[in-house]
Amino acid sequence: MKKLVSTIALLGALSTPVMAAEFIQLSVPNNNFPPGDVEGVRFSLLYGQTNSVKGVDISILGLAESNNFTGLGLDFLGAQRVKNHFTGASLSWANWHDNTGVGGVIGAVNYTENNFTGLQLGFANYAGTLNGVQFGFVNATQRINKGVQIGLINYDASGTFVSKDFPVFPIINGRF
């Protein structure tokens, strides 16, 4: 009997964090229904803010914001902002990542303040440091660690493959 009670208590303690995450959430300005982190699907209308999203984030007409994001972001006439870490794929008018990102982003404007690993595809792309590919009209980074920029204007503050003193190179720029 003691083993049964101990097992039930242990399972109850382990399941508490699982109950804090919601499978489906509707997020509107200043309200989440139901509140909490998301492990499943979040729908945002106009403005949605949640601490953590793991799964699919669908935003209609507005900004979908989270501290941490893992999954697929689909923003129709909207933008995605991730304050800490982004992992996954996002299709949005604007992808705005305040810290780091890993995966692929497609948008008119893609911005990652620190390190980005993966593919940025858009009109204008920026990554603090780049490990991967930027494909767009204007591409910029402070440093390409390993990767390539393909576009009309490619800027690397640490220099291009032609010269460290020449930070801009058209069509293609890279470092391996």
Q: Where are the domains of the chain?
A: 1-105, 108-176
Q: Which residue has the tokens 């391996």?
A: 176
The pLDDT, as a whole number, for residue 162 is: 80
pLDDT, residue 161, reads 84
Per-residue confidence (pLDDT) for residue 7, from 0 to 100: 44
- In this prediction, residue 3 carries a pLDDT of 62
* Tokens representing residue 2 in the block: 């003691």
Residue numbers of the chain with a pLDDT score lower than 70: 1-20
CA angle 113, 45, 73 (to 5 degrees): 45
3-state secondary structure at position 29: coil
pLDDT of residue 107: 98
Give me the pLDDT at residue 174, please: 93
